[in-house]
Amino acid sequence: MTTPAIGKIGIWSLELRFGDKAEGSSAAAELDELGYGALWIPGGIDDGAPADVERLLGATRRTVIATGILNVWRHEPSQLAAWFSALPDAHKMRTLLGLGVSHGPIIGEKWGKPLAVARQFVDGLEAAGMDRDNLCLAALGPKMLALAGERTAGAHPYLVTPEHTAEARAILGPGKLLAPEQGVILEEDPVRARELALAALESYRRLPNYRNNWLRLGFSEQEIDEANDRLIHTLFAVGGVDRVAERVKAHLDAGADHVCLQVIAGARGGDFATLLPHWRRLADALL
């Protein structure tokens, strides 16, 4: 099997998984028709993402359904491989499972060394017959990026910059999937844009994985604590669709194969009535 063809632009959305199921399926069908190559949904802290992958596969015809990410602490490799094996062949070709080790403060006492945990989980999937072409890893640091390139189709970094994309491509090497997430705030009012960015960053600024990555990228502890304008405008594409197009081009020029856009438009990203017009505008400009 080959890695699913996800195109150059996708949508990353909490709502497609955690919003109203009927509305989410209807939105997914429209995003499919608009031409987005992949729809990315989070795994979260539960084990329900595979069921939502199936629902969205059923609602779409062409687009790939990807997870960003399945929390490995909430799944057993053998069960996940069996679930994938039972999918129709046409759906397998449109399924990409992004896997991640989550975060120590969230997992608690069970937490183990991320690299060892990720390697063990991939070992279990391979032993159960899972094809690595349908897997990628959430990866920020150099060692996890290297593992993603060695054992899966590639990497899905989150809350990163084009500079990180260039570093990730150098580590992954050619021929490996690199699909960074890019936050988008289609808001011209700088005060409102900052409010949206702060809300989106609130929980992530407390997690060591992200803080350490931003420090590697040259931000200071103070900049992260304050969420200053440099941090916000580096992590998010803020303004009109032209700013989004510039950021997408920067990622692609740096070596990304695919950029998944997460529109930040309100609490938990906004509802479908708010998000769909943004997704349509982005499709008109980018697809």
pLDDT digit string, tens, across residues 4-37? 999 999 999 999 999 999 999 999 999 999 999 9
- In DSSP terms, which residues pair with 95 in a beta bridge? 65
Distance from C-alpha of 250 to C-alpha of 85, rounded to nearest angstrom? 37
Phi and psi dihedrals of 199, rounded to 5? -65, -40
**pLDDT, average across residues 106-125:** 80
Q: What is the pLDDT of residues 217-272, one digit of tens each?
A: 999 999 999 999 999 999 999 999 999 999 999 999 999 999 999 999 986 667 99
Percent with pLDDT over 70 in the chain: 95
Q: pLDDT band at 105, cuts 50/70/90?
A: low
- The pLDDT tens digits of the residues spanning 32-88 come to 999 999 999 999 778 999 999 999 999 999 999 999 999 998 899 999 999 999 999
Dist CA 66 CA 51 (whole Å): 12
The count of residues in the chain is 287
pLDDT of amino acid 58: 98
The two tokens of residue 271 are: 């509802």
CATH superfamily of 9-286: Luciferase-like domain (3.20.20.30)
pLDDT at residue 277 tops 80: yes
Q: What is the pTM of this model?
A: 0.95
DSSP assignment string, 164-224: HHHHHHHHH-TTSEE--EEEEE----HHHHHHHHHHHHTTGGG-HHHHHHHHHTT--HHHH
Terminal CA-CA length for the chain: 27
> Mean pLDDT, the chain, as a whole number?
94
pLDDT of residue 2: 87
Q: Which two tokens stand for residue 204?
A: 């992530």
DSSP 89-128: HHHHTTEEEEEE---HHHHGGG---HHHHHHHHHHHHHHT
pLDDT of residue 102: 61
Greatest C-alpha distance within the chain: 52
Give mean pLDDT, residues 165-169.
98
Q: How far apart are CA 179 and CA 132, in angstroms?
A: 16
